[in-house]
Amino acid sequence: MSNLDYFKSPKVDLRIDGLMRLFFWLLGVSVLGSVLLIFVFILLQILPLMQGASVTDTGKALNVPAANYQLLVLDEWGEAPLLVDDKGQILEIRNFKDLTPLEFKFLEKVPTAFSYNQRSQTIASVADNKVAVTKVNYKPNFEGEVRTITHNIENEGLYNVGNRDGESYSVGYGDNGDHKVIGLLQKVEGKTKIHVVTLAQQQGLFGAGEIEVDKEIDLSNNEKVLGLNPSKILVSSSGRSVLLIGEQKVVFFNYTGNTFKWYQTFEPFKDDAKKTISSADFILGDVSLVFTNPDGDCKVFSLYEKDGSRIFGQTKQFSTLHKGATTFAQSPRNKAFLIGNDGFLSLRYSTSQSVRWESTADFNPKLLSIGGKYKSFWVLDDQNKLRIYEVNDRHPEASFTAYFKKVQYEGKSEPEYIWQSSGGSDEFEPKLSMIPLLFGTLKGTFYALLFSIPIAILAALYVSHFMNPKFKVFIKPAMEIMATLPSVVLGFLAALWVAPAIEQHMPSVFLFILLTPLAAILIGLIWTVLPPKSRLYLKPGFEFIYFLPVIFICFYLAWQLGPIIEQNFMVVEFDNGARKIADFRLWVSEVFGVKFELRNSLVVGIMMGFAVIPIIFTISEDALANVPKSQVSASYALGASRWQTAIKVVVPAASAGLFTAVMIGLGRAVGETMIVLMATGNTPLLDLNIFNGFRTLSANIAVELPEAPKGETLYRTLFLGAFLLFLMTFFINTIAELFRQHLRKKYKVL
C-alpha cells in the first residue's frame, strides 16, 4: 500500500458528502422556489386590477310596441325591466319575451314630464300642476332554484305644485327620509316659472300622518335666474340641492335655513368653443354632475368646500365624444356612468377618470339603464328594440391613476393622495392611493433607524474594542435575548405606557436626548486634559461604569428642568392674553403649526428602534470583533490611540459587515406590523411631522384584510400593497448586497 492510500477518503464518506451537497442544493432551490411561488401568487392576485371592462353584446334584441318611451326602469337583478311611455302607460317585460301592459295610472291626465331615480326606484311625473311620486318595489320569489321578480307599483303621494294653468316640462324629486323636495319647471303665458316644494310628514300620537306640502318656494323672480330660461331641473336624492340647467349656465341652490338659497352660477364649458350644454346628469351620490356639449366634450363637476360654502368645481375631464350625449345612465352601485349618442356607447368611471369601455353601434340609443349589481346594462334604441349587454368590470376603482397619482375626489378642492377604503354610505367614493402607505412605511423606518443605528453601532464598537471582555459575556447574550421580545408586547407597551409618558414629559424627553451626548462630549474633553497619572486610576474597559452615574444625572436634570422650561417658555395665550396655558402640545401647534397626537412617530421611532437595536448590534459586534488583531496591534504600535484605531482601522475593515447590519435592521423596520399598528394613530398621512402618526403597508394589510371581501377590489389592492412591500425589500436588499460587495473590494487589503 502506497503512502497516498492513507490520504484517500473512504467511499462511504464520499457518498455521504455527495448526498449532503445534493441535500443543501435542493434546500437552497426549494427556498428560492418558495419565494418565487409567493411572488407569482401575489402577482396573480393583482393582475385582475389592471384589466379594463369587458362588455359583451348578448345578441338579444326584443321588439317592443311602438311608443315614445320616456323611462327604462330596471330592477336590481336586471331581469324584469319596465318601460314607461309618454302617455304614462307601463310595459312589463319578463324573460325577455313576455310583454305585459300594466294597469296603472300615474295621474288622471297624461303626464308631460318624468324623472326617475334608479337608486331609490322612485318616479316623479307631472301633468299641469299635479305631481305624483311613485315607488316601484321589487320582490324576488323562488320556486325551487327558479327566481322570478314581481313588481309592486304604488303612488306615495299626489301634490299640487306651481300654477294650475301652467305647462309643466321638467320635474325632479329628492327624498332622504326626513327631507322631501319636488322641483318643477313650467311655462305660464310664455314665461318660465320655477317652483320648489318641500314636503313634511306630521307626527301624531297614533303614528306618522300623511305627507303634505310644507313650503312652496318660487325661484322665478330670483335675480340669479333672470334670463336663464332653464331646460331642466335636477334635485339631488337628499333633496338638499336644486340645479337649474340653462343653455350655457347652471344655477345652484342649496337648502339652508329652511329655504333654498342661491350658492353658485357657473358655466361648465366657459372656455370651450361651444359653450352650449347638451346634457347634465347626476352620478351616484348626487355630489357630482356629468356635462357634455355638442362637440362631445365631457366634464365632471363636483361639490367641494370653498370659503365656508360648498360649490361645484371641475374635477375631471374625459376624452371627447364625437358629439354630445343624447341619453345617460348612472350606475346605482358605484361612480360609473353610461353615455350614449348617435351610434355610440361609452362606459366611464368618474373617480379614476377612465374610459372603461366604448364602442360604436349600428343603432341610436334612446334610453339606457345599468343593472343594480353593475353586471349588465339595457339599451332601448330608436327602432324600439330592447338590447342587453353583459358587463364584466369587477374593479372599476382600480387604475394606475387611482393608485399612484393625485386624484381630485368628491368634496376635495384639489387633487390629493388619499387612502380611505370605506365610508359611511353606499355612495362613498373609495380612495385607494398607495402613496400615503409607502410614505408611512418609509417614515416609520426612517425614525426607527434614526434612533437605533447610532446607539447600536456605537455600542457594538465599544463592546468589541473598548469594554473589558469580562462584561461582554453578559451584555451580548442580553442583547440577543432583547431581540426575542415579541413585537406585540413592544407595541402594547408603546401604546399604553410609553406614549402617555412621553406626552406628559415631552420637554424632559428632548432635554435628556440633548444633555446625554453633550455630557459625553464634555467628559471626553475633560479626560483628554487630565494629567496622565490621574488617568491611571480608571482601568481601560471600565469607563462605562463611571459614565452610568452621568446618565442618571442627565436624566434627573432633564426630569426636573423639563417642567420648568415648559412653564416659562412654552406658554400659549388665549382671550387676548387674559388666559395663559403652559402646555407643550398647544405650544408646538401654535408656534410651529404642527398637530400633536398621543400616538406619534416619536413613540414608534423609540419602540421600533428598540426592536431593531439588538439585530444591528449583534451583527455589527461580530463584524467589528472579527477584524484581525494584527491590524489593531499594528495601529497601536504606530502610536495610534484606541479611538483612532477604532475609527481609522476597525470601522473601515468592518464596513461591509456594518452595512449588512444596517440593511437587515432596515428590512426588519420596513416589515414591522404590530408596533406600528398599536403605537400610531394608524392614519394614512403625508406629513413628516414627528408628532403625528402614519400608516404603513404592513399595518394596512393587517387592519384591512380581515374585512376585505375575497376577490373584490380592496382585497386585491391589499395584495398590491404586499407586492410593493416585496419589491421594496427586494430592491433594498439588492442595493445593499451590491454596496457590500463594493466595500469588501475596497477594503480587502485590510
CA atoms of 123 and 134, how far apart (whole Å): 5
Q: For the full predicted model, state whether its pTM sits above 0.85.
A: yes
Instruction: Kindly report, residue by residue over 91-134, the tens digit of the pLDDT.
Output: 998 888 888 898 888 998 999 999 998 888 899 999 988 999 99
Domains 274-310+320-429 and 435-500+598-746 share a fold: no
Amino acid identity for residue 480 in this structure: E
CA distances from 583 to 100, 569, 594, 689, 706 (A): 75, 10, 14, 18, 40
**Per-residue pLDDT reduced to its tens digit, 235-270:** 999 899 999 999 999 999 999 888 899 999 999 999
| Residue spans per domain, the chain | 274-310+320-429, 435-500+598-746
What value does the mean pLDDT take over residues 55-71?
A: 91
Which pLDDT does position 263 carry in this prediction? 92
**pLDDT higher at 423 or 415:** 415
648: which DSSP letter? I
- pLDDT band for position 336 (50/70/90)? very high
pLDDT band at 9 (very low <50, low <70, confident <90, very high): low
Q: Check: CATH 2.10.25.10 for 274-310+320-429?
A: no
For 269, the grid coordinates are 364649458
- Cα(472)–Cα(421) distance, integer angstroms: 50
Residue 654 is classified by DSSP as T
**613 vs 600: CA distance, rounded Å:** 20
Q: Is 589 exposed, middle or buried (0-12, 13-18, 19+ CB in 10 A)?
A: middle
Asked if pLDDT for residue 521 goes beyond 90, the answer is no
Q: Looking at residue 457, what is its pLDDT? A: 93
Predicted pLDDT at 209 = 67
Q: pLDDT tens across 448-504, in order? A: 999 999 999 999 998 888 888 888 888 888 888 888 888 888 988 888 899 998 888
Split at pLDDT 50, 70, 90, the class of 307 is confident
Under the banding of pLDDT at 50, 70 and 90, the label for residue 274 is confident
> Quick check: 202 pLDDT over 80?
no
**What is the spatial distance between Cα 442 and Cα 612, in angstroms, rounded to a whole number?**
15
Q: Contact 466/642 with Cβ under 8 angstroms?
A: yes
pLDDT band of residue 8 (cuts 50, 70, 90) is low
R_g of the chain computed on alpha carbons: 37
CATH classification code of 435-500+598-746 = 1.10.3720.10
Q: Which pLDDT score is estimated for 632?
A: 85
Quick check: 645 pLDDT over 60? yes
The arithmetic mean of pLDDT across residues 222-228, rounded, is 88
486 and 647 in contact (C-beta within 8 Å)? Answer: no
